[in-house]
Amino acid sequence: SQELEQSPQSLIVQEGKNLTINCTSSKTLYGLYWYKQKYGEGLIFLMMLQKGGEEKSHEKITAKLDEKKQQSSLHITASQPSHAGIYLCGAEYSGAGSYQLTFGKGTKLSVIP
């Protein structure tokens, strides 16, 4: 089974609506990274969370880390067409040598004007 599950797999929202993307790990997290990928392009770093309960915001995007549940959520407020893309969460697992990122399969977000 997948170590890192993202949900939903895809999401279509009307411009101006709020939305949430979830990322759940089956193993203990050392750090959780959120990236955005536009189709056919590279990854853009959004945020990194390390401590349980940590919450970070950048413009209209907020990410939280629930350490007990080994889960992170990415929330977008008042979505815009520019938010469209594929959102990836990447996990850094604790333990010796477990520094390489393990990624979820991504959530494809479409925003309808």
Partner 1 sequence: NAGVMQNPRHLVRRRGQEARLRCSPMKGHSHVYWYRQLPEEGLKFMVYLQKENIIDESGMPKERFSAEFPKEGPSILRIQQVVRGDSAAYFCASSPGGPGWGDEQYFGPGTRLTVT
Alpha-carbon span 53 to 41, nearest angstrom:
31
**Nearer to partner 1 by C-beta: 88 or 109?**
88
CB closer to partner 1, 21 vs 79: 21
Q: Residue 56 CB, nearest distance to partner 1 (Å)?
A: 12
Query: Rounded CA gap, 27 and 2, in Å?
Result: 10
Residue with tokens 């609506």: 17
Smallest gap from residue 103 Cβ to partner 1 (A): 4
- The site for partner 1 (CB under 8 A) is made up of 4, 30-31, 33, 35, 40-45, 48, 50, 88, 90, 92, 97, 99-106
For residue 53, the tally of other CB atoms under 10 A from its CB is 10
Report which residue type is found at 4. Answer: L
**Cα radius of gyration rounded to whole Å, the chain:** 14
Nearer to partner 1, 12 or 45 (CB): 45
